[in-house]
Structure 1
Amino acid sequence: MFTGIIETLGRVHKIEKDQNNLHITIDSAISNELKIDQSVSHNGICLTVVAIKDSLYTVTAIDETILKTNIGDWNEGDIINLERGMKLGDRLDGHIVQGHVDQTGTCIKIEEASGSWNYTFEYDEKLSNITIEKGSITVNGVSLTVVNSKTNEFSVSIIPYTFEHTNFKDFKVGTKINLEFDVVGKYISRLYAINK
């Protein structure tokens, strides 16, 4: 379980294809603190550490993960948002994030707003995911508050700290991002559909 508060950034060092899997090696400042079999959120994708050497560690993405996320679009040199699993008893500064990406979305608009930034994202409404005004959303692993919620799009406002310490600064119109919708909202939506 994660909080959506990004701990640090990593850089994709190497990507190796192995049958339907991708072995991705990340260079990060926290590599020497990790352990084999530890879960780490990578742009919101929960992946297990399988190897560590110096400032590098490796994770493996299987076909299911590749199909549901933007991980197949990653390239060597890309900057990735990283968060280690939350410790029991710590403050929950973001919201409950599972690291299970629901679907991808696309950045359709970026506006600078005198010291902050507004990003608008579009997603496929056929997958029955929803946002609500002032609800929580995870974009590339970052816990954010929804503004301007619509049927298949929403916006978020980014403060300078988040802009500087995440890969939001690399987003452009057309950037494909990972979305994890609020877990409580998903359960309510599912119960509503069953009892309809």
Structure 2
Amino acid sequence: MFTGLIQALGTMNPLGGDSWQITCVSQSCELIMQDLAYGDSVAVDGVCLTVEEVLKDGFIATASPETLRRTTLGSESTAQTYVNLEASLRVGSKIGGHFVMGHVDGIGRLVAVEQTASSWEMTFVASEAIARYIVPKGSIAVNGISLTVAAYEAELSQFTVAVIPLTYAETNLRYLIPGSLVNLEGDILGKYVEKLLYSGNRHTTEPEDNSLDEITPAFLAEHGYL
């Protein structure tokens, strides 16, 4: 599990087969490398990878064919650009973003970027697999970065985020241009809510009179959630 607060930038280069070498290249590499160990999880552009060998300035991990197919890590441009790095959340650590699982839902594409007086407004188009989890003011992970949805156009499956200068400077968002592909992960809370709403009590194994009530707006209001 991660928080979506990027700790360092790195590069990703193929070693043959499914193995990749991830090298940390930013000045903040100590945040990644200080206690990195075999078997640890690291989010690489939002994709959870397992450390198989620790190197002086990075690590080796395996990205399966399925992972490469479903994420931007399989893009030909990956080895030529920077990737965002974040070590897994430690018990007791601060949670400054939102819970990011490192399980990418789909690939999105940057549509437009505009610099404002206080931020960069970036608009992305999302696939149907991720669009249903996007809500205004909700959380979304873009290349592993925890961001807040400022606006959402359902008809176009497009959403806009406002990126503060610190995030823009310390992540690979500053290298994106219209047309660039990104990894998208919806908020895990939305996925559980969707599961409960659509499953209702159909999967319960309890007797009918002990089954869960259907979750509706009225049910939520009755139990203090609205």
- TM-score, with length taken from structure 1: 0.91
Structure ID, larger Rg: 2
Letter in 2 for 1:3: T
Q: Which moved more, 1:79-88 or 1:62-71?
A: 62-71
Which residue does 1:46 correspond to in 2?
48
Post-superposition CA distance 1:63-99 (Å, at most 9, x none):
2211221110143342111100111112211001111
Aligned partners of 1:37, 1:193: CA distance in 2, in Å?
A: 36
1:56 matches 2:52 = no
Percent of aligned pairs with the same amino acid: 35
CA contact (8 A) 1:32 1:54 kept: no
Letter in 1 for 2:78: N
Post-superposition CA distance 1:26-61 (Å, at most 9, x none):
111234641111100011000001112221311110
Question: Alpha-carbon deviation of 1:145?
Answer: 0.4
Post-superposition CA distance 1:89-142 (Å, at most 9, x none):
122110011111011100011111123100011012256632111000000000
**SS in structure 1 opposite 2:166?**
helix
Aligned partners of 1:133, 1:10: CA distance in 2, in Å?
A: 31
Which residue does 2:20 correspond to in 1?
24
Aligned partners of 2:64, 2:55: CA distance in 1, in Å?
A: 22
Q: Which moved more, 1:99-108 or 1:63-72?
A: 63-72
**SS in structure 2 opposite 1:131?**
coil
Aligned partners of 2:129, 2:41: CA distance in 1, in Å?
A: 30
CA contact (8 A) 2:130 2:186 kept: no
Aligned partners of 1:180, 1:65: CA distance in 2, in Å?
A: 14
Which residue does 1:187 correspond to in 2?
192
CA contact (8 A) 2:108 2:127 kept: yes
Structure 2 residue runs of 5 or longer lacking an equivalent are 201-213, 215-226
Which residue does 1:70 correspond to in 2?
72
Q: Which has the higher strand share?
A: 1
CA contact (8 A) 1:9 1:166 kept: yes
Q: Which moved more, 1:155-164 or 1:84-93?
A: 84-93
User: In angstroms, what is the RMSD of aligned CA positions?
Assistant: 1.7
Which residue does 1:159 correspond to in 2?
164
Letter in 1 for 2:190: G
CA contact (8 A) 2:108 2:126 kept: yes
1:15 matches 2:14 = yes
CA contact (8 A) 1:68 1:104 kept: yes
Aligned partners of 2:40, 2:132: CA distance in 1, in Å?
A: 29
Structure 1 residue runs of 5 or longer lacking an equivalent are none
- TM-score, with length taken from structure 2: 0.79
Q: Which has the higher contact order (CA 8 A, sep 6+)?
A: 1
Aligned partners of 1:66, 1:76: CA distance in 2, in Å?
A: 13
CA pair 137-128 structure 1, distance change in 2 beyond 3 A:
closer
CA contact (8 A) 2:130 2:185 kept: no
